[in-house]
Structure 1
Amino acid sequence: MAVTMKSDYALRLLLLLSIENKRMSTSELISKCKTSIPYEFAQKILSQLVASGILESSRGKFGGYKLVKDPKDITVYDIVTSVDDISSMITCFVAPDKISLAPEICSVNEVWEIVMKRFKQSLKSVTLEDLKESYLKKCEEFERRKKL
């Protein structure tokens, strides 16, 4: 099971937007992000987040991206499924048409189904607001340690 870089970048971009709480351009988002996200890749991710209804975008001098919903109403599941197909994060190693030929495979697949169900529940239990609060606490701790 693996979370893709696309999902990771989507979370980082949305976290930044929730902290800044203002409309931001792609360039501004990338420059404030602590990782170097390729511009075209960021554009693609942001477009997918607009299509899913998490962000709104506007063009022009004062354009950019803005959260549509309150961060407490956006789950990590919402974000990840906006940019990725999470069913591919846990893969079946056997073609579906071969499963009926091997009963042991069906047993193993049941385990993966349980894992996927719990994975989805975990993603749904964490909001963008939760991530924001955690991030801000860590920033405060970091600043406090720097002063020591």
Structure 2
Amino acid sequence: MIRLTNLADYAVVVMTAAARVPDARLSAARVAEVTSIPVPTVAKLMGTLARGGLLTASRGVAGGFSLARAPGEISVAAIVEAVDGPIALTNCLTGESQDCTMEGHCAVRGHWGPINRAVRDALAAVSLADLLMPVAAVAAVQVEVMA
């Protein structure tokens, strides 16, 4: 099974919570309250997402975090990459394959690039605005596209 890391999954949840109130400044405590993700994890993620250019951080009494762009301009791929780095299904394309015994003679290594791009493109096609739509509405849009 191919899975996102827990942090990437939580980051999508955090960003969706922020997208529900795009003009508000949210604290980590408030986001933790509405998402049931622990405050330290939310605080860490919000800092990471701000460094990734997806959230804007403001200090002071009225400070907090807000979306850096409109929900329709932020993709799930951008969120995952801000937390986990480039989307890659295998370590050989990320430079993390030092212990791969097949590295010198792997017949499929060259095929993983297009597969990774397809997965990334699929995640890039889904925006935060899409995640705000009810599931039934998303299904209806998918049916219209297929017709």
TM bucket (normalised to shorter chain) is 0.7 to 0.9
Q: CA deviation at 1:85?
A: 1.9
- Counterpart CA distance in 1 for 2:137 and 2:103 is 48
- Counterpart CA distance in 2 for 1:136 and 1:51 is 34
Which residue does the alignment assign to 1:24? Answer: 26
Pair 1:77 & 2:77 matched: yes
- Residue aligned with 1:86, SS: coil
Q: Cα RMSD (Å) of the superposition?
A: 2.5
Which letter does structure 1 place at the counterpart of 2:91?
A: T
Unaligned 5+ runs, structure 1? 139-148
Which residue does the alignment assign to 1:11? Answer: 12
* Deviation by residue 1:75-130 (Cα, 9 ceiling, x = unmatched): 11111111112345433467479522x2xx2x222332232111111111111111
Structure-2 change in CA distance of 1:73 and 1:87 (3 Å): closer
Which residue does the alignment assign to 2:128? Answer: 128
Which residue does the alignment assign to 1:56? Answer: 56
Relative to the length of structure 2, the TM-score reads 0.77
Aligned 8 A contact 1:2 1:89 in 2: no
- Residue aligned with 2:53, SS: coil
Unaligned 5+ runs, structure 2? 139-147
- Counterpart CA distance in 2 for 1:120 and 1:112 is 12
- Stretch of structure 1 that moved more, 110-119 or 49-58: 110-119
Percent identity between the aligned chains?
A: 26
Relative to the length of structure 1, the TM-score reads 0.76
- Counterpart CA distance in 1 for 2:20 and 2:70 is 12
Which letter does structure 1 place at the counterpart of 2:16?
A: L
- Counterpart CA distance in 2 for 1:41 and 1:7 is 11
Aligned 8 A contact 2:26 2:64 in 1: yes
Counterparts of residues 86-105 of structure 1 (less than 5 Å): 86-87=86-87, 89-92=89-92, 95=99, 99-100=103-104, 102=105, 105=106
Which letter does structure 1 place at the counterpart of 2:34?
A: K
Q: State the structure with more CA Rg.
A: 1
Structure-2 change in CA distance of 1:46 and 1:89 (3 Å): farther
Pair 1:108 & 2:108 matched: yes
Q: CA deviation at 1:13?
A: 0.7
- Counterpart CA distance in 1 for 2:135 and 2:26 is 19
Q: CA deviation at 1:135?
A: 5.7
Which residue does the alignment assign to 1:47? Answer: 47
- Residue aligned with 1:24, SS: coil
